[in-house]
Amino acid sequence: MIISKGARQKSIASQFIAWLAELTGTQSQLAILERRYQAQINALKATLDSQKITVSVIQANQGKINVMHSYHSLGRVLRDAGFRFPPLIESIPEGGRMDVSAERLPELDADFVFATWRGDTGGKPQDELAAMEKVMPGWCQFLTACRSGRYVLISREEAISNSFASLGLMAAQIQ
């Protein structure tokens, strides 16, 4: 299998899925899934003027804030739908991530800020809020999105899965 550096929407995971479909002779089923996903993206674009909306995906991580160029399925849906990201996130190379200190939190503000919480370890959404509070006490006051009720918590297991089911779920949750 050769992984190419194609368009940003063509992640390593999607290239692997295409290779696997070719290997197993299931390209027609993959084409159906890809068409369904594209229809979901088109519906999302028809519902929201995504090009005028900024989004950010952040995660508290051992006293810092972790950000990625594209946060797995959630990030792919946001990028495929045409949402804009803050310059700090856009500066991260495709496929990359970075940890930033709490002082840079205002650079991650957007119209909507998404964060994920871990359910696989028995965690709850409140755990991510508490982790952010440890990173920076009173953190919510530094994000317009949070102060305005546009800080959206999503299950990490659903947001990071590399499946068409996850892509569809993320599209529905964003919409």
pLDDT in tens, 103-150: 999 999 999 999 999 999 999 999 999 999 999 999 999 999 999 999
Is residue 77 classed exposed, middle or buried when 0-12, 13-18 and 19+ CB atoms within 10 A define those classes? buried
Indicate the class that CATH gives domain 50-174. Answer: alpha beta
Say what the pTM is.
Answer: 0.89
User: Which amino acid type is present at position 130?
Assistant: A
Q: What is the mean pLDDT of residues 144-157?
A: 96
- Hey, where are the domains in the chain? 50-174
Q: Which helix (H) or strand (E) holds 116?
A: strand 112-117
